[in-house]
């Protein structure tokens, strides 16, 4: 937040990250990775991410899938995500070549173009993803996950919204 400034090109500024907002964003971001892993396990066929958004308040995840998703399966996805949170999986990041990441089984989305070196985020043996975002150090840090919304956005695109920890 910059208030009442008279900055000129070339001037230096000191920036600070709000630790509370950063932590809550980390929880929501890491929860998306766990939820996406649960979606891949619970839904037969190809599940493909089509977008996501995280901030300190909530998470949103869009995905392409060709079939309806029952309330029972949604509850299973929420339950599985919470089980992984409680299992205290260590979250690690490492930089690997794209080939090394693929060999490890890392999930890459959007058909994006990646550089020869990529950042790989692993959450125990639950999921390995290419991701440049901020994450918790242990899934237990997330505390809990609640799937709060699910809607069809049309043409096989579904949107999930959720909350973690004290945001529930």
Q: Per residue in 108-156, pLDDT tens?
A: 865 567 888 999 999 999 999 999 999 999 999 999 999 999 999 988 9
The CA distance from 30 to 83, in Å, is 14
Q: How many CB atoms lie under 10 A from the CB of residue 162? A: 23
Closest CA to 142 of 17, 29, 48: 29
- Put simply, whether the predicted model's pTM sits higher than 0.95 gets the answer no
With contact defined as beta carbons under 8 Å apart, do 76 and 49 qualify? no
With contact defined as beta carbons under 8 Å apart, do 153 and 60 qualify? no
pLDDT category at 15 given cuts 50, 70, 90 is confident
- How many CA atoms lie less than 13 Å away from 122 in the CB half-sphere? 13
Q: Per residue in 19-70, pLDDT tens?
A: 999 999 999 999 999 999 999 999 988 899 999 999 999 999 999 999 999 9
Ramachandran class of 103: left when φ > 0, alpha when ψ lies in -120 to 50, beta otherwise: alpha
């Amino acid at each position: 937040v910059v208030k009442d400034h008279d900055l000129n090109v070339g001037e230096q500024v000191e920036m600070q990250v709000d630790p509370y907002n950063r932590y809550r964003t980390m929880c929501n971001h890491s929860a998306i990775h766990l939820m996406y892993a649960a979606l891949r396990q619970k839904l037969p066929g190809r599940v493909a991410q089509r977008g996501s958004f995280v901030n300190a308040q909530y998470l949103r995840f869009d995905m392409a899938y060709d079939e309806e998703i029952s309330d029972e399966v949604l509850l299973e996805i929420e339950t599985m995500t919470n089980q992984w949170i409680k299992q205290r999986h260590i979250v690690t990041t490492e930089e690997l070549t794209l080939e090394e990441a693929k060999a490890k089984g890392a999930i890459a989305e959007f058909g994006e173009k990646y550089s020869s070196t990529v950042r790989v985020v692993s959450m125990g043996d639950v999921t390995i993803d290419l991701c440049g975002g901020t994450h918790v150090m242990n899934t237990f840090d997330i505390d809990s996950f609640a799937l709060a919304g699910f809607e069809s956005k049309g043409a096989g695109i579904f949107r999930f919204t959720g909350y973690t920890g004290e945001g529930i």
